[in-house]
Amino acid sequence: MEEHAKPLGLPANQTEIADDGTVGRYTVPVLHDSSTGKAISDSTRIIEYLHEAYPDTPRIIHPETKTLAVAYEHTVLKNVVLHIYATITPRVGSFMSPEDEIKYREMVNKNAGVDHTELVANKEVVEGMWKKAEEGLTLLDGYFRMAKLKFGPESEGVKGGFLEGSKPALADFSLGGFLIWMKHGLGETDEQWKRIESWNDGRWAKYLDAMKPYSEIHE
């Protein structure tokens, strides 16, 4: 990232730590707003910038949820994403050129501490990973169900099925982003993805369906 971003004058992400321990790592997404000349790194900071620069557009950050959304994202990471990181992430390489895929897989295998080809061959270990991810998703499902029980299914902020109400907001884009990463990593027709769609009374399939209008790319 650094060799591409630096010549373009794009900044490092100051909320991440570089490999050498210094603050600031070059990451995507990074925004260059040609109307104002500003360049911003880190997805949350980009959203905050857009809210400030274009106040008449829909807001997805509610001030009251800032710390809670940080906590929620970490809960999803710890209870779901980390368990299956080693089995999903290398698959993302299939969207790259063959040369890039080789480099990418080497990097991911190093991060995950396990060779992906060997891992996939060990069905029992992969099953165990998915078992833990299922427990994690069931925990998240429980939060939705408990809020429904405590506040009522038709109460403001609960009805609509998103985390923050009837429209997706910051924490929803964390959860939705991880689900989309799982779906595209596995592939829509993959057996494991079909299983996930059936978990928790189909909550995750319905959630992504509701997220669709907000996750399309307009060119």
Q: Which residues bind a copy of itself (CB under 8 A)?
A: 14-15, 42, 44-45, 48, 61-72, 74-75, 139-140, 143-144, 146-147, 149-152, 155-158, 163-165, 169, 171
Nearest Cα to 134, choosing from 56, 44, 195, 59? 195
Q: Which is nearer to a copy of itself, 161 or 185 (CB)?
A: 161
Closest separation between CB of residue 191 and a copy of itself, Å? 30
Q: Which is nearer to a copy of itself, 5 or 171 (CB)?
A: 171
User: Residues for the chain: how many in total?
Assistant: 219
Q: Which is nearer to a copy of itself, 5 or 61 (CB)?
A: 61
Closest separation between CB of residue 168 and a copy of itself, Å? 11
Closest separation between CB of residue 137 and a copy of itself, Å? 13
Q: Are 87 and 119 in contact (CB under 8 A)?
A: yes
Q: Which is nearer to a copy of itself, 114 or 147 (CB)?
A: 147
Q: What are phi and psi of 166, to 5 degrees?
A: -85, -5
**Extended strands (E) in 90-129:** none
Nearest Cα to 42, choosing from 22, 13, 6? 13
Extract the tokens encoding 48.
């905050």
